[in-house]
């Protein structure tokens, strides 16, 4: 994960002992990989647009309205509650990172920084810029430096990818035939990939448990969490993904026969395609994956579920995050104004 250019490398992040420097590819290789990544993202975007246009062209709008009407308030209520669980779990990402960095920040501020950064970056995309900016704006009020906010963001990112890796590795290993319907690979190939992913995570755990936790990334010295916090990262990452996937699962139309483990694998694949496309919120690639991989009584019912999921998990938290940040800034300025007025009264003869 690249660091924003505006982040200042500060000496207070230096660690005792040698740091392992991340290998840097040659300039020519970097340019090739950059263009390859751009081409891959554009390919995903083009395929997503093609599939979505074809799907929407076949939608019966009267059936779509009926699908919305058929979604019960109990489904919506449960989806809202599961969204709250997911975002609550995300606050644990920051809490673990703060503990690793030996920083003490009140949980209410940690919760606001985490919720606002994720709610905004999920919707606007570019998480290192949007989420990092929100985190710095909030944590800097508690005296946290830019370098430590960058380290916090990296550690939180590790938590996310550990959870993602565990879920996709387990799905490929324990349901290789079912995943073959999604990625069109042979079941034994999926089994090998899943085992490889789980082995890589196990290797990472052995590495940090053995004490090789120091990294140097673009001038920033970072110490990864130890075995105890790493296990907590894994548990949080899996819990967050399961809660987020459950939001959409409970909104699926009645009559679908999709088992949750299979659905969870489809959801994670959709998230991965969304991340690879660099499209804000993964909108397009995520929907394409769901529409092509899930079997429901009607496409209209599935499309209605996807639209409701976007509203509940993305739009509502985004609006709430903006409101909370505005209220927090207003309160901070009002407090500063009152303190200035009190000082003026004390200085008056």
How much is the pTM? 0.78
Taking the chain (349 residues) in runs of 10, the rounded mean pLDDT of each run is 40 40 54 57 56 55 70 90 95 92 90 91 79 87 87 88 90 82 81 92 88 69 84 93 94 84 86 78 80 80 88 90 85 72 57
| Beta pairing partners, 223 | 214
| Beta pairing partners, 222 | 215
Contacts 24+ apart (CB under 8 A), 227-233: 229/96, 229/99, 229/100, 230/162, 230/204, 230/205, 231/205, 232/92, 232/96, 233/93, 233/96, 233/158, 233/159, 233/162, 233/163
The three-point CA angle 127-151-169 to 5° equals 65
DSSP secondary structure letter of residue 161? H
pLDDT of residue 16: 36
């Amino acid at each position: 994960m690249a660091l924003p250019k505006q982040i200042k490398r500060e000496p207070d992040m230096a660690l005792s002992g040698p740091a392992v420097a991340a290998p840097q590819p040659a300039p020519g290789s970097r340019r090739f990989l950059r263009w390859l990544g751009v081409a891959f993202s554009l390919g995903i975007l083009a395929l997503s647009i093609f599939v979505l246009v074809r799907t929407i062209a076949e939608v019966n709008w009267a059936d779509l309205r009926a699908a919305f009407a058929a979604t019960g308030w109990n489904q919506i209520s449960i989806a809202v509650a599961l969204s709250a669980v997911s975002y609550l779990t995300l606050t644990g990402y920051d809490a673990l990172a703060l503990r690793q960095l030996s920083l003490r920040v009140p949980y209410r501020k940690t919760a606001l920084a985490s919720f606002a950064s994720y709610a905004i970056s999920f919707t606007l995309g570019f998480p290192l810029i949007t989420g990092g900016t929100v985190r710095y704006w909030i944590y800097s009020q508690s005296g946290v430096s830019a370098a430590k906010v960058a380290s916090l963001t990296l550690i939180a990112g590790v938590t996310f990818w550990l959870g993602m890796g565990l879920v996709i590795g387990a799905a490929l290993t324990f349901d290789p035939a079912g995943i073959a319907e999604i990625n069109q690979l042979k079941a034994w190939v999926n089994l090998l990939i899943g085992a490889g992913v789980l082995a890589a995570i196990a290797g990472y755990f052995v590495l940090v448990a053995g004490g090789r936790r120091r990294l140097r990334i673009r001038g920033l010295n970072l110490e990864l969490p130890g075995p105890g916090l790493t296990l907590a990262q894994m548990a949080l990452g899996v819990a967050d993904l399961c809660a987020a996937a459950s939001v959409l699962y409970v909104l699926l139309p009645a009559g679908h026969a999709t088992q949750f483990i299979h659905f969870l694998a489809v959801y994670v694949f959709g998230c991965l395609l969304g991340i690879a496309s660099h499209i804000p919120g993964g909108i397009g690639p995520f929907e394409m994956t769901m529409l092509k991989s899930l079997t429901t009584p009607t496409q209209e019912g599935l499309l209605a579920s996807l639209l409701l999921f976007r509203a509940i998990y993305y739009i509502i938290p985004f609006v709430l995050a903006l409101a909370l940040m505005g209220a927090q800034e207003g309160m901070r300025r009002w407090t500063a104004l009152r303190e200035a007025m009190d000082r003026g009264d004390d200085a008056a003869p």
